[in-house]
Amino acid sequence: MQLITSYYPVIMVADVQKVKAFFEQYLDFEVVYDSDWYVHLGMKDQGNVNLAFVRYDHGSVPASYRKASQGVLLNFEVENVDSEYARLKDQVDTALELKQEDWGQKHFIIEAPEGILIDIIQLIPPTEEFKNSYL
C-alpha cells in the first residue's frame, strides 16, 4: 500500500447536522466540510483528529449498504479522564459511568446522537494479569 496521507472514519447516519452539532458542542470539533449529506469534522487545535458523517441514503453509498451504522464505539484517549468526566457528566447521556479497568484503562462512555457511543479513556497501568498482553 502507498503512503497513507490521511485516515478518519466516516459513519453513516440519518441526520448529519444533528451529529455535527453534538461533536461541535461537547467534543471540541469544528467543521472542515459541511453539506446536507456529508460533514467532515476536525478537532480544534488537533488537526490530526478527524471524523466524518455521511447520510446513509446518499448516492455515494453503495445501494446495498444504505442503512444507518449500528454498534459504533469511538475511543478518544485523553490525558485527564477525570476532568472530562466532570465536564460532560451533567451535559450528555452517560452509557457507562467512570470506572477503572484491569486491562489498563480508566474510562466512561457517553451517548451521541444516532446511537454512536464515545469512550473517553485515560491509559493507566494494567494489573499483573494483563501486563503480558501488551507487546
Same domain, 1 and 36: yes
pLDDT of residue 44: 94
Share of the chain above pLDDT 90, in %: 94
Select from 75, 127, 77, 120 the least CA-distant residue to 101.
127
Burial (CB < 10 A; 0-12, 13-18, 19+), residue 17, is middle
- The pTM of the full predicted model, rounded to 2 decimals, is 0.93
Which domain covers residue 60, as residue numbers? 1-69
Residue ending a domain, among 69, 91, 124, is 69
Same domain, 38 and 53: yes
pLDDT in tens, 112-125: 999 999 999 999 99
Q: Does 8 score more than 90 pLDDT?
A: yes
